[in-house]
Amino acid sequence: MPDPVPLAPPEVVVRLRAAGCVFAEDEAALLIAAAPTPGDLTLMVERRAGGEPLEYVLGWAEFCGLRVAVEPAVFVPRHRTEFLASQAAARTRPGSVVVDLCCGSGAVGAALVAASPTVQLHATEIDATAVRCARRNLAGIGGQVHAGDLYDPLPPGLRGRVDVLVANVPYVPTEEIALLPREARLYEPRRALDGGADGLDVLRRVAAGAPGWLAPGGCLLVETSEAQAPRAAEILAASGLPAEVTSLDELDATVVIGTMPGAGDSPRARGAAAPRY
C-alpha cells in the first residue's frame, strides 16, 4: 500500500470542514502540532474526518487545564464534568481521603490532586483499558487506581474514612443512547454511557454503598442531567445522605451532593475554599 500523500495545513482545514468538524481551524492546529511527520498528519486527519473523537486521535483531552491521556475505547472526559471536579475540590482539605468511582481516564482525580496535592486519592474502574489509562494519569501524582466494580476493590481500611467521594457514573437513559452524538455512540464504551431505564441505575448502587465508606460529614458528589437531579437527590437522601443540587449553566452541568451526618466535621465546614482553575 503506498504511503499517504502529505497534506498541507490549509488542506487539513478543508478536509476537516468537509467532514463536518465545526471547529475545523482549531482542530487542524492541534493535529498539526501533534503529528510527528507529514505522513502521520495525513493519517490523523483521516481518522478524525472518519468520525473518530479528536481526543483519541491526539491521545489526550484537555480537562481543568490539564492534558489527560486518553486512548480508544476509554470514555472521553467532558468539559461539563469540570464543574463536578471543582465542587469536589471545594470540599477537600490538605490530607483529605478522596475516592473517585467510575474514574474512566482518571481526569477528575487528576484535577483534584492538582487543586490539592496532599489529598490521598483512590480511584476505581471496572474496564481494563480505562484502568490502564487512569494509571498513566494518576500513578505519577500519587493516586492509586483499583480495578473492579465500584467499591469492591477499595482497601477495607478506607471504610468510614472517606472525606470526598466523587462519581461520574453513566447516566444516559438506555432509550436515549441512540440520540447521542455519533462519536459517542460509535466509539465510546456503552458501559460508560448507559445508566439503565431512567439513567440512575449505577447512581442507586453508589448511593446505597456510600454511607459505609464516608467519614462523618463526608460528601458524595455525582453528576446528573438537570432533569434527573431531583430524583437523584431523593435517592441520596433515602440512603441517609441529605442532598442538595447545584448547577452551572455555562457548562450545562448539574451536580448532586449528599452529606453524611456529622457535618461539623466536614471538609467544607473546616473552611475549604473553591479552587480557581
- Under 8 Å between Cβ of 177 and 194: yes
Query: What pLDDT, on a 0 to 100 scale, did the predictor assign at position 269?
Result: 41
- Under 8 Å between Cβ of 171 and 199: yes
Residue 263 has phi, psi (to 5 degrees) of -60, -20
How far is the C-alpha of 212 from the C-alpha of 111, rounded, in Å? Answer: 25
Query: What pLDDT, on a 0 to 100 scale, did the predictor assign at position 2?
Result: 56
Query: What pLDDT, on a 0 to 100 scale, did the predictor assign at position 272?
Result: 42
Query: What pLDDT, on a 0 to 100 scale, did the predictor assign at position 214?
Result: 98
Query: What pLDDT, on a 0 to 100 scale, did the predictor assign at position 270?
Result: 40
One of 3.40.50.11540, 3.40.50.150, 3.90.1150.10, 1.10.760.10 is the CATH number of 81-265, namely 3.40.50.150
- Under 8 Å between Cβ of 134 and 123: yes
Q: Which residue has the cell 493519517?
A: 43
Residues of the chain with pLDDT under 70: 1-8, 263-277
pLDDT in tens, 137-157: 999 999 999 999 999 999 999
Q: How do beta strands 60-63 and 66-69 pair?
A: antiparallel
Of 124, 28, 115, nearest in space to 66 by CA:
115
Pull the grid cell for residue 55: 481526543
Query: What pLDDT, on a 0 to 100 scale, did the predictor assign at position 9?
Result: 75
How far is the C-alpha of 117 from the C-alpha of 98, rounded, in Å? Answer: 12
Residue 140 has phi, psi (to 5 degrees) of -75, -10
H helices present in 53-200, as ranges: 54-58, 81-89, 107-115, 128-138, 182-187
Query: What pLDDT, on a 0 to 100 scale, did the predictor assign at position 189?
Result: 93
Q: Where in the chain is the domain with CATH 3.40.50.150?
A: 81-265
